[in-house]
């Protein structure tokens, strides 16, 4: 290794090699700053939660013509309709799912800069596409209609995203150091002037820098902190992504005078394969353990009872709050149930996953027996559900079709009777994605103290930045927020 790459002094040190950290590093390096990025994972285990994603990125746009110059070409574009997604809609979705608890200033910046920041990353070498398999259904005439406001994603999903980020970092001369766990912040005269770290062999060191950018994720992998902040039972949630985001640097920042930002008592969590043996931090299957097809069926608990509205809104706007509802059920287990008519509509990537937790049977009684549910209870639930459906309304998964099951709890859209065997039950539990609480900063990522002044030299972005989300979250916003506020932090650092 040459001397420059061994340097323990730099302009900017970025902590955390996920989407937010790399975005910050690129922006700083483009300004001519020397940048070292410290990543806790070794090279084969790096990429953070960002690696595990589908790459889905929520941006504003005016329809297909507005994005076609930066997405990969695809023959299907000629027969594709992508409804525009406006700034007003983006802001309204954030307001709706968080019950208005989203920070208005952060929201405004996120929304306004979302497309421009994807264009910037695309210009650097990241590759984007339309996500046909997740966000569009084929219409009867063979054309495609996109839904839900979330349309653009990375080529190759999270793995592609992180491979592209890593390649860009190389081009920009960023010194990425893997296997470096940052252990603390060095503060002198009130300013952050560097960090301490440890290596896997137990040795330690420090790096001095004018600016430190924190991009080391939330506290989702830390069972004690989950129990403390999210509540009892959360220690049992399964970790969907990286095993490294343990909240240690959130605490380190609080210790030097940063104030908490956003909602520390809630998080992003989803329905997640309950019984497959490797159902935490699985780098091979990544997000394939998610079970996002519930709007097409019903969900019952171990008592055979429904307990939530599977069709309350588009999947992108409900999936991140339903993990919590599963956690509350007996044994923190539930079953997504489908019949033969709707099984083919479930996304293959998720529902044909190797080792998936599923049972099937020709009758509901047999299915119930296989999953340990009282058969009469399941039959009663399904019969009541089927009988309550407003069958005069046309079923249409592309829109909020209003085809409701008027039962308690209701299914507000896409209610279809479960009538034709074989029937399928997919076992799900609660998978935690990331925590919503973080540090308070201004819109440039400057970490703030209790009196509202920035801590000199200290920046934050990504999951570590609190304030955008509470209770729930619109899909694709984590990557969007990471790149927008990462870039902003890197533009100042
Ligand atoms: C299965 C799954 C699917 C998802 N799908 C999507 C999606 O499609 N679209 C979307 O927008 N969001 C998605 N998300 C959420 C998304 O992953 C996050 O919002 C986003 O990636 C966070 O980026 P980040 O850079 O802040 O954190 P991360 O990508 O988690 O990066 C943080 C990095 O910090 C490192 N680190 C932690 N502690 C230390 C330390 N002490 N020293 C050094 N390094 C440290 C970690 O190793 C990690 O690499 C998904 C998440 C998961 C788990």
Cβ 40 under 6 angstroms from ligand 1: yes
Question: Do 30 and 175 lie in a common domain?
Answer: yes
Q: Do 44 and 125 share a domain, yes or no?
A: yes
CATH code of the domain covering residue 283? 3.90.700.10
At 293, phi and psi to the nearest 5? -90, 5
Pair (351, 488) in one structural domain = no
**287 Cβ closer than 6 Å to some ligand 1 atom:** yes
Domain carrying residue 336: 268-431
Q: Is 253 a member of any domain?
A: no
| Sign of the four-CA dihedral 298, 302, 304, 306 | negative
The C-alpha atoms of residue 310 and residue 322 are separated, in whole angstroms, by 9
CA distances, 257 to each of 106, 192, 254, 450, 460 (Å):
21, 11, 5, 7, 14
Percent with pLDDT over 90 in the chain: 96
Kindly report the protein residue whose alpha carbon is nearest to atom 12 of ligand 1: 478
CATH number at residue 51: 3.50.50.60
- Per the CB < 8 A criterion, the answer to whether 128 and 57 are in contact is yes
β 238-239/423-435 pair status = parallel
Q: How far apart are the C-alpha atoms of 334 and 82, rounded to whole Å?
A: 34
Prediction pTM value: 0.96
Model pLDDT for residues 210-233, shown as the tens digit of each residue: 999 999 999 999 999 999 999 999
* 388-398 mean pLDDT: 94
Distance 173 CA to ligand 1 centre (A): 23
Whether residues 166 and 214 fall in one domain: yes
Instruction: Give me the residues paired with residue 411 across strands.
Output: 405
Q: Is the CB of 476 under 6 A from ligand 1?
A: yes
Q: Between β-strands 56-57 and 35-38, what pairing exists: parallel, antiparallel or unpaired? A: unpaired
Write out the DSSP string of 355-389. Answer: T--EEEESSHHHHHHHHT--HHHHHHHHHHHHHTB
**Both structure tokens of 19:** 């989407």
CA pair distance 42, 37, nearest whole angstrom: 13
- Atom of ligand 1 minimally distant from the CA of 464: 26
Residue 293 domain-assigned (yes or no): yes
- 249 alpha carbon – ligand 1 mean position (Å): 14
Instruction: Please identify, among 381, 401, 431, the residue that sits at the C-terminal boundary of a domain.
Output: 431
CB atoms within 10 A of CB 259: 17
Task: Please determine, for residue 1, whether its predicted confidence score (pLDDT) is greater than 80.
Answer: no
Residue nearest to atom 53 of ligand 1 (CA): 241
- Give a yes or no: residue 255 inside a domain: no
Percent of the chain whose predicted confidence (pLDDT) is above 70: 99
Residues 199 and 274 in one domain: no
CA of 56 to the centre of ligand 1 (A): 13
Count of domains observed in the chain = 2
Spell out the alpha helix ranges (H) of 374-472.
375-387
Q: Do both 440 and 426 map to the same domain?
A: no
Confidence at residue 5, expressed as pLDDT on a 0 to 100 scale: 52
**Residue 12 lies inside a defined structural domain of this protein:** yes
217 pocket-lining for ligand 1 (C-beta < 6 Å)? yes
pLDDT tens digits, 297-321 = 999 999 999 999 999 999 999 999 9
Q: Are residues 192 and 304 in the same domain?
A: no
| Within-domain flag for 239 | no
Q: Does residue 474 have its Cβ closer than 6 Å to ligand 1?
A: no
Q: How far is CA 171 from the centre of its chain?
A: 28
Over residues 428-437, the mean pLDDT reads: 98
433 lines ligand 1 (CB under 6 A): yes
8 A C-beta contact, residue 28 and residue 12: yes
Last residue of a domain, one of 431, 455, 474: 431
Q: Is residue 240 part of a domain?
A: no
The dihedral built from the CA positions of residue 433, 437, 442 and 448, taken in this order, carries a sign that is negative
Phi, psi of 458 (to 5 degrees): -115, 125
Which of 230, 233, 269, 270 has its CA nearest to residue 247?
Answer: 230
């Amino acid at each position: 290794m040459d001397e420059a790459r061994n340097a323990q002094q730099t302009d900017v040190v970025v902590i955390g090699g996920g989407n937010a950290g790399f975005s910050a590093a690129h922006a700083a390096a483009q300004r001519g700053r020397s940048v070292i990025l410290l990543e806790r994972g070794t090279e084969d285990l790096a990429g953070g939660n960002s690696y595990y994603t589908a790459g889905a990125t929520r941006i504003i746009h005016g329809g297909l013509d507005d994005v076609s110059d930066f997405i990969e070409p695809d023959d299907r574009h000629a027969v594709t309709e992508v409804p525009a997604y406006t700034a007003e809609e983006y802001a309204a979705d954030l307001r709706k799912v968080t019950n208005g608890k989203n920070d208005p200033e952060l929201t405004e910046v996120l929304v306004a800069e979302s497309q421009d920041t994807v264009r910037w990353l695309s210009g650097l070498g990241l590759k984007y596409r339309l996500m046909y398999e997740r966000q569009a259904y084929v219409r009867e005439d063979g054309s495609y209609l996109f839904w839900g406001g979330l349309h653009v994603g990375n080529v190759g999903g999270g793995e592609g995203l992180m491979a592209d980020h890593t390649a860009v970092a190389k081009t920009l001369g960023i010194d990425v150091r893997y296997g470096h766990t940052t252990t603390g912040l060095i503060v002198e005269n009130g300013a952050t002037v560097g960090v301490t770290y440890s290596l896997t062999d137990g040795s330690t060191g420090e790096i001095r820098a004018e600016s430190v950018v924190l991009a080391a994720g939330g506290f989702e992998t830390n069972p004690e902190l989950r129990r403390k902040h999210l509540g009892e039972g959360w220690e049992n949630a399964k970790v969907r992504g990286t095993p490294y985001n343990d909240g240690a640097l959130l605490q380190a920042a609080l210790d030097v005078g940063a104030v908490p930002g956003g909602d520390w008592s809630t998080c992003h969590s989803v329905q997640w394969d309950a019984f497959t043996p490797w159902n935490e931090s699985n780098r091979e299957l990544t997000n394939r353990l998610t079970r996002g097809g519930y709007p097409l069926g019903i969900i019952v608990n171990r008592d055979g009872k429904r307990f939530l509205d599977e069709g309350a809104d588009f999947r992108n706007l409900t999936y991140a709050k339903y993990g919590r509802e599963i956690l509350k059920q007996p044994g923190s287990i539930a079953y997504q149930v489908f019949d033969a008519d709707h099984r083919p509509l479930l996304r293959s990537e998720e529902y044909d996953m190797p080792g998936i937790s599923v049972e099937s049977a020709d009758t509901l009684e047999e299915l119930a027996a296989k999953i340990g549910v009282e058969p009469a209870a399941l039959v009663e639930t399904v019969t009541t559900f089927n009988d309550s459906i407003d069958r005069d309304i046309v079923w249409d998964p592309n829109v909020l079709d209003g085809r409701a099951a008027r039962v308690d709890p209701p299914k507000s859209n896409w209610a279809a009777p479960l009538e034709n065997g074989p029937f399928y039950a997919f076992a799900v539990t609660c998978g935690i994605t990331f925590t919503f609480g973080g540090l308070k900063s201004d819109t440039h990522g400057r970490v703030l103290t209790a009196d509202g002044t920035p801590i000199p030299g200290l920046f934050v972005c990504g999951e570590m930045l609190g304030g955008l989300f509470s209770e729930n979250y619109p899909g694709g916003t984590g990557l969007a927020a990471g790149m927008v506020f990462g870039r902003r932090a890197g533009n100042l650092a």
